Amino acid sequence: MTAPAVAQQSLSLRLVASSRRFIRWLTRPQVVLSLIMLFLMFYMIIIPLYRMVMTTITWQPRDVISVPEAEVGGLTLYHYVRMLTGALGKIYLQTPLVHSLTIATGATLLSLFIGGSLAWLVVRTDMPGRRLVNQLALVPYIMPSWTLAQAWLVFFKNRLSGGTPGVFEYLVGTSPPNWLSYGPVPIILCSALHYYTFFFLFVSAALMSIDSNLEEAGELAGASRGRILRKITFPLVLPAILSGVIMTFSKVLGTFGGPNILGTPVRYYVVATMIRGSIGVGDKADAFVLAIVLILFSMTIINLNQRLVGTRKSYETIGGRGFVAQVSKLGKLKKVVLAGVIVFQILVIVVPLGLLVWSSLMLQDGNYSLSNLSLQHWIGPRGTIYNHGEPGVLLNPKIWKTAWNSIRLALWTALFTALIGILLGYAIVKGRGTRLSKLIEQLAFIPYVIPGIAFGAVYIAMFIKPLGPIPALYGTFALLVVVSVGKHIPYSSRSGVSAMMQVGRELEEAAQISGAGVLRRFRAIIFPLTSAGFVSGFLLTFITTMRELSLIILLVTPETQVLASQTMFYIENGDGQMANIVILILITLVAIGNLIISRFRGGSLKKGLGM
């Protein structure tokens, strides 16, 4: 056929041609996947957010009690005015927000200091035992974030909570002051000692990937060690630090466990605890206003941070091969530093766990005599005066069911998340440069900036009523899976993208040329080659879901109780020792899961974080 003949095609032929082209575009695997993911994210992120906002700007049925002229369903700013201004605004929002920001800022700075220094010591000095420290530094990550808070309470509590003495009082003889027992100081400390892991991971990865030629060039130019560290090394790890800041800040802002344990006794409320409170008394719209404020603050601060560092400075420091990093000699300080690190690890890992075990073995809380030691809370019979008559944790069918719920939740969430991660990675990487790919990448990032408790709140708004073909999921186990998968989408897309980047596009194209269809390509090429990424995503999600509290605390029911929320209910019920045992069980399960999962196909936590 010649060109003029083509030009003379009739309109109908042209229509056929363009519809064929459209169908071809639509049936490309990356487009199909993109559209499915788009739908999924619309359903899991956009609609819930929309419903949440709508709830806050319309009259709710219960508003009629306080405002008789309210028209249910009509638009109103009532909830905003109520929560943001006046005396109520001060109690409900302003003061808690100041507290939240104080804690988030304090914890972020402190964990930056701890994680950054530890990373530098491990990667860039000749400190002995660096390998061990490198592994131990990750341990706090597998413990629930409020483990330390609970251990803190065992040690430092005064008579204000529970009326029994803590270990401190037993040893020193006087009761510790309130500021040491409760409130911002312990909350910041406990959060930082948990979240420093992010900084440690990010900064050590960045330090390892810096070409030491860059530093040597500085040295040749006659710059001092300190100057090189300040002017060359620091700017190069700045993007890594920024990632840590964003992650930690938004996590602490949305964290519920620590502030609930250590803040509530002295009425030191944060936005997260206020949201829970408002949901508890049925003021959904009020709780959503708080959640929206929390989201806005989290987004603003993340935005500011990114502005501050700027995209121009996010250099590519990874050259594809490992560099032999230049090592700083610690000299005489070596022993001092090592001792310091050992003491630190003991304080962060051994002491808290020891305290939890000890407290769980005390028949009566706060009685430190040897005769008080007992296994009552572990394997005691039902119907005693202890723990409201519940049997010991290990004999308690409720706990077994709860543990099974936790495992089930973590496994399902990890499975879906890892799968979605690989598919998202494929859609994003294969579609690089198209608007669809960009849109999906941006949508996938949204849950990242929504603090955990607010994300949970969003899902109440979404699933309390049926939506189209989807039934009302509130109170079901499925909802817990959905919310956990939704919250993990940013992480899974990150690790999925980095896993897909490792697979050159030629590998799939070679299979395409061989005549393999899309399913075969996924089965024989894509999935096997991204299996390490899949396992890593699975591992990360499994661990975080097992010990996640803030996200699901608003959504669990007695039927769907998991270990993490069970500890909080025990604590609030005054059964702190039972709570401690449950925490110990939880940590054991996470550790076992970690051991088993990381055996497969080179999966690792670091890869799960997209590094």
Which residues are near another protein by CB under 8 A? 1, 3, 6, 9, 13-14, 16-21, 24-25, 433, 504, 506-507, 509-517, 520, 524-525, 528-529
Q: Could you give the CA distance from residue 127 to residue 133 in angstroms, rounded to a whole number? A: 10
Instruction: Compute the least distance from the CB of residue 436 to another protein, in Å.
Output: 14
Instruction: Compute the least distance from the CB of residue 330 to another protein, in Å.
Output: 39
> Closer CB to another protein, residue 335 or residue 505?
505
Q: Is 468 exposed, middle or buried (0-12, 13-18, 19+ CB in 10 A)?
A: exposed
> Closer CB to another protein, residue 126 or residue 506?
506
> Closer CB to another protein, residue 20 or residue 465?
20
Q: Could you give the CA distance from residue 245 to residue 253 in angstroms, rounded to a whole number? A: 12
Instruction: Compute the least distance from the CB of residue 277 to another protein, in Å.
Output: 52
Q: Could you give the CA distance from residue 526 to residue 80 in angstroms, rounded to a whole number? A: 49
Q: Is 200 exposed, middle or buried (0-12, 13-18, 19+ CB in 10 A)?
A: buried
3-state secondary structure 40-71: HHHHHHHHHHHHHHHHHCECCCCHHHHCCCCC
Q: Could you give the CA distance from residue 476 to residue 465 in angstroms, rounded to a whole number? A: 13
Question: Is 162 strand, coil or helix?
Answer: coil
| Backbone φ, ψ for residue 223 (5° rounding) | -80, 150
Largest CA distance in the chain: 102
Instruction: Compute the least distance from the CB of residue 559 to another protein, in Å.
Output: 44
> Closer CB to another protein, residue 331 or residue 433?
433
> Closer CB to another protein, residue 2 or residue 66?
2
> Closer CB to another protein, residue 46 or residue 510?
510
Instruction: Compute the least distance from the CB of residue 438 to another protein, in Å.
Output: 13
Instruction: Compute the least distance from the CB of residue 607 to another protein, in Å.
Output: 17
> Closer CB to another protein, residue 395 or residue 529?
529
Q: What residues does 58 pair with on adjacent strands? A: 75
Instruction: Compute the least distance from the CB of residue 561 to another protein, in Å.
Output: 42
Instruction: Compute the least distance from the CB of residue 157 to another protein, in Å.
Output: 55
Q: Could you give the CA distance from residue 202 to residue 605 in angstroms, rounded to a whole number? A: 12
> Closer CB to another protein, residue 308 or residue 510?
510
| Cβ-contact 505, 436 below 8 angstroms | no
Instruction: Compute the least distance from the CB of residue 10 to another protein, in Å.
Output: 11
Instruction: Compute the least distance from the CB of residue 421 to another protein, in Å.
Output: 19
Q: Could you give the CA distance from residue 425 to residue 489 in angstroms, rounded to a whole number? A: 11
- The contacts found for 508-512 with CB under 8 angstroms, 24 or more apart, are none
Give the DSSP letter string of 510-536.
Answer: HHHHTT--HHHHIIIIIHHHTHHHHHH
Task: Provide the CA 404 distance to its chain's centre, in angstroms.
Answer: 22
Q: Could you give the CA distance from residue 357 to residue 350 in angstroms, rounded to a whole number? A: 10
Sequence-distant (≥ 6) Cβ neighbours of residue 415 within 8 angstroms = 538
> Closer CB to another protein, residue 65 or residue 519?
519
> Closer CB to another protein, residue 22 or residue 315?
22
